[in-house]
């Protein structure tokens, strides 16, 4: 391998080719429909244009390696375009994409290159493509990853000998990525879709293979690892900072120290600087750089982190406006209440709708309710319930019809605070059951316990009766099929018992669906969905330690006890991403 000594011509022709193909592609696809969101479709046209432009200036079209890469890039652009037009699924395209990549990489290298190295590069190319697709959730991110990786590889090239084809491919990636990144800074969007990502990911992987360098291949693994690990670390850091920064772990407190500013542009800028720092770190290791270089890189990262944190966690100027009665989170109105507020609302409802002796006698005779008021439904909502409401219309309708939607989970409280509309605190379901029973013992309310395995509801009722001397008018387990004859019988028994309070522990969303059915046979009463509270109250499941309750990580303790809940817990990161996306899309100051 000999150093490539080309001047500015490849850079100029790569830029010209990217722009020319970009414009041509926009004209060809102007009347086509793409379900890729807001923006103008560019696909792989800029990458292919830069690739061909750099090749023309470098005079490498006669080389077999360049021809093989060009053919693969075009074919990947075509199958990606078919995916963008929704002609094929990813599963259908995967074997074809893998075949194109591995064939072209064998054709682009000499016979001495080991098959293991080519197969490794193929797997790496597929991994990079997958990670670029993940990064495209923030649409500028693939451009940042490609540009920083290409720039770092150029610096690496300056310290080593390299092939002409490798530098031209790298130049094409850098030029096209920077052009599209600059275009997007004005609030405009350029959509590369699967076509552009397939092509760019393959070309990035091809650079290492053309060099035949195991070190470059290892260096390239930083790209997918950054895409996978960095968003997780950044989001986790922001959640922890915002949760503890505003002292949400102190319980019911309206004190708010910081207003969280999550501007999309600032987040993307910090992500780009972070990726650049990690690329440079890998580069410094490869070239065996001196200690001052590491110190300078660390200083750059610290400054970037400080700027991001100082803009993210701004001091709240003080907002003395009265708290609204309800706060909307992902389309669901959550009531801004504390447990005492809930008890007051229940007491007011039951006192207002207390039947007289005459109406009660008539109701018993006619087997009807003694009052025409509607059931008072209380939903204890956590983050997973809000995610489900966005996915299931029936469940969302049940929540919207409820009299109260209280913030059971710490995630709901965090989300409200993060969006700039803080809630006064949590209303934990287990504690709420005990507080309602305390009031029931005082006012003589009748309580019906429904849910859990056989015997669990009875144990929970007996425990609460010992503590608060409550009037228990019925107990039923929750192991009956929905819409079954047994469920009909349960509904009839509840209607005959005429409870003031009914705790329904059937789990989400079934307990809300059951309460919806209960409305037709019980016009008066307070129905509360309490999830797995009976298991905790009956001590079938131990309560999380106090410090875990205070820091709102009971879910982690529950997961430790019941590992089968793992798949359900995957809804938590979905909720966090939805909150972040809502914050980005609204782009407003709290």
Nearest in space to 137 (alpha carbons), one of 205, 219, 216, 232: 232
Domain identity same for 526 and 560:
yes
**pLDDT (0 to 100) of residue 280:** 72
Domain identity same for 299 and 333:
no
Distance (Å, rounded) from C-alpha 405 to C-alpha 422? 15
Distance (Å, rounded) from C-alpha 174 to C-alpha 185? 17
Domain identity same for 273 and 342:
no
User: Looking at the domain assignment, is residue 368 inside a domain?
Assistant: no
Distance (Å, rounded) from C-alpha 112 to C-alpha 122? 17
Q: What is the DSSP string of 251-276?
A: SS-----EEE---HHHHHHHHHHHHH
Nearest in space to 118 (alpha carbons), one of 157, 153, 154, 68: 68
Instruction: Examine residue 509 and say whether the peptide bond preceding it is cis (omega within 30 degrees of 0).
Output: yes
Domain identity same for 61 and 107:
yes
Distance (Å, rounded) from C-alpha 539 to C-alpha 188? 57
Contact assessment for residue 353 and residue 426, using Cβ atoms and an 8 Å cutoff: no
Distance (Å, rounded) from C-alpha 229 to C-alpha 216? 20
**Paired residues of 380 in beta bridges:** 406
The whole domain housing 95 covers 9-220
Helices (H), 260-338: 264-286, 291-312
**Paired residues of 260 in beta bridges:** 313
Domain identity same for 282 and 380:
no
User: Looking at the domain assignment, is residue 359 inside a domain?
Assistant: no
* Dihedral in degrees, nearest 10, Cα atoms 569, 573, 575, 577: -170
With a CB cutoff of 8 Å and minimum separation 6, the contacts of 272 are 144, 148
With a CB cutoff of 8 Å and minimum separation 6, the contacts of 489 are none
User: Looking at the domain assignment, is residue 54 inside a domain?
Assistant: yes
| Number of domains composing the chain | 3
**Paired residues of 505 in beta bridges:** 451
User: Looking at the domain assignment, is residue 295 inside a domain?
Assistant: yes
**pLDDT (0 to 100) of residue 376:** 92
User: Looking at the domain assignment, is residue 71 inside a domain?
Assistant: yes
Pairing of strands 313-315, 446-451: unpaired
Sign of CA dihedral 38, 573, 254, 340: positive
User: Looking at the domain assignment, is residue 548 inside a domain?
Assistant: yes
Distance (Å, rounded) from C-alpha 549 to C-alpha 410? 10
Distance (Å, rounded) from C-alpha 66 to C-alpha 69? 5
570, burial (CB in 10 Å: exposed 0-12, middle 13-18, buried 19+) = exposed
Domain identity same for 514 and 441:
yes
Domain identity same for 454 and 523:
yes
Distance (Å, rounded) from C-alpha 199 to C-alpha 589? 38
Domain identity same for 187 and 293:
no
User: Looking at the domain assignment, is residue 366 inside a domain?
Assistant: no
**pLDDT (0 to 100) of residue 533:** 86
User: Looking at the domain assignment, is residue 183 inside a domain?
Assistant: yes
**Paired residues of 476 in beta bridges:** 450
Choose one of 192, 220, 248: the last residue of a domain: 220
Domain identity same for 384 and 433:
yes
Choose one of 173, 191, 220: the last residue of a domain: 220
Domain identity same for 336 and 281:
no
Domain identity same for 159 and 266:
no
Domain identity same for 492 and 567:
yes
Local confidence pLDDT in tens for the 590 residues of the chain = 444 445 578 888 999 999 999 999 989 988 888 877 778 888 899 999 999 998 888 777 777 778 888 899 999 999 999 988 888 888 888 888 888 888 887 777 665 556 776 777 777 778 778 777 777 766 677 887 788 778 777 776 666 666 777 788 888 998 999 998 888 876 678 888 889 999 998 888 777 666 555 555 555 555 555 655 666 677 777 777 787 777 776 665 556 777 787 776 677 677 767 776 776 776 677 667 788 878 888 887 888 788 788 778 777 655 556 678 889 998 889 999 888 999 999 999 988 877 655 544 444 454 444 444 588 999 998 888 898 888 889 999 989 899 999 998 888 888 888 888 888 888 888 889 999 999 999 999 999 999 888 888 899 999 999 999 999 998 998 888 888 888 899 999 999 999 999 999 988 889 999 999 898 888 889 999 988 888 888 888 777 777 776 666 677 777 777 777 777 777 777 888 888 878 876 754 44
Choose one of 300, 319, 338: the last residue of a domain: 319
Distance (Å, rounded) from C-alpha 193 to C-alpha 83? 9
């Amino acid at each position: 391998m000999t150093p490539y000594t080309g001047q500015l011509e490849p850079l100029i022709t790569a830029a010209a080719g990217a722009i020319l193909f970009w414009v041509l592609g926009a004209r060809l696809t102007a009347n086509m429909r793409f379900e890729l969101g807001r923006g103008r479709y560019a696909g792989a046209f800029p990458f292919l244009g830069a690739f061909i432009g750099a090749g023309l200036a470098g005079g490498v079209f006669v080389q077999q390696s360049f021809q093989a890469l060009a053919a693969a890039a075009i074919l990947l652009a075509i199958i990606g375009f078919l995916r963008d037009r929704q002609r094929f699924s990813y599963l259908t395209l995967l074997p074809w994409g893998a075949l194109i990549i591995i064939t072209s990489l064998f054709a682009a290298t000499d016979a001495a290159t080991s098959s293991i190295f080519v197969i490794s590069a193929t797997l790496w190319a597929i991994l990079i493509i997958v990670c670029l697709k993940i990064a495209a959730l923030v649409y500028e991110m693939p451009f940042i990853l490609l540009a920083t990786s290409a720039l770092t590889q150029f610096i690496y090239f300056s310290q080593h000998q390299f092939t002409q084809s490798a530098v031209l491919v790298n130049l094409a990636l850098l030029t096209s990525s920077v052009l599209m990144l600059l275009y997007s800074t004005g609030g405009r969007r350029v959509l590369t879709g699967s076509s552009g990502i397939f092509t760019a990911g393959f070309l990035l992987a091809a650079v290492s293979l053309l060099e035949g360098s195991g070190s470059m291949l290892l260096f390239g693994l930083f790209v997918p690892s950054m895409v996978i690990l960095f968003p997780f670390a950044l989001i986790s850091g922001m959640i922890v900072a915002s949760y503890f920064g505003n002292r949400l772990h102190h319980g019911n407190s309206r004190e708010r120290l910081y207003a969280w500013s999550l501007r999309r542009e600032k987040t993307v800028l910090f992500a780009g600087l972070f990726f650049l720092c990690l690329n440079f770190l890998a580069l410094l290791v490869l070239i065996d750089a001196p200690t001052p270089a590491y110190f300078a890189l660390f200083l750059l990262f610290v400054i970037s982190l400080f700027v991001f944190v100082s803009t993210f966690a701004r001091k709240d100027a003080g907002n003395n406006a009265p708290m609204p009665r309800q706060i909307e989170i992902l389309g669901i109105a959550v009531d801004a209440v504390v447990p005492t507020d809930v008890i007051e609302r229940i007491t007011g409802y039951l006192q207002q709708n207390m039947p007289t002796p005459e109406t009660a006698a008539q109701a018993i005779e006619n087997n009807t309710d003694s009052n025409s008021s509607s059931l008072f439904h209380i939903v204890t909502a956590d983050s997973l319930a809000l995610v489900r409401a966005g996915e299931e219309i029936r469940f969302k309708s049940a929540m919207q019809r409820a009299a109260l939607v209280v913030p059971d989970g710490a995630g709901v409280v965090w989300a409200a605070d993060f969006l700039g509309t803080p809630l006064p605190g949590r209303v934990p379901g287990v504690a709420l059951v005990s507080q309602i029973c305390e009031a029931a013992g005082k006012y003589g309310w009748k309580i019906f316990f429904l849910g859990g395995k056989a015997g669990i509801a009875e144990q929970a009722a007996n425990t609460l009766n010992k503590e608060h001397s409550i009037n228990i008018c019925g107990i039923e387990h929750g192991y009956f099929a929905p819409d079954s004859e047994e469920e009909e019988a349960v509904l009839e028994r509840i209607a005959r018992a005429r409870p003031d309070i009914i705790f329904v522990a059937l789990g989400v969303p079934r307990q809300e669906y059951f309460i919806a059915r209960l409305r037709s046979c019980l016009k008066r009463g307070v129905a509360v969905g309490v999830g797995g509270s009976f298991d905790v109250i009956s001590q079938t499941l131990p309560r999380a330690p106090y410090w875990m309750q205070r820091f709102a990580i009971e879910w982690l303790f529950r997961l430790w006890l019941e590992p089968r809940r793992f798949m359900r817990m995957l809804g938590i990161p979905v909720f966090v991403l939805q909150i972040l996306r809502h914050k980005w899309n609204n782009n407003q100051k709290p």
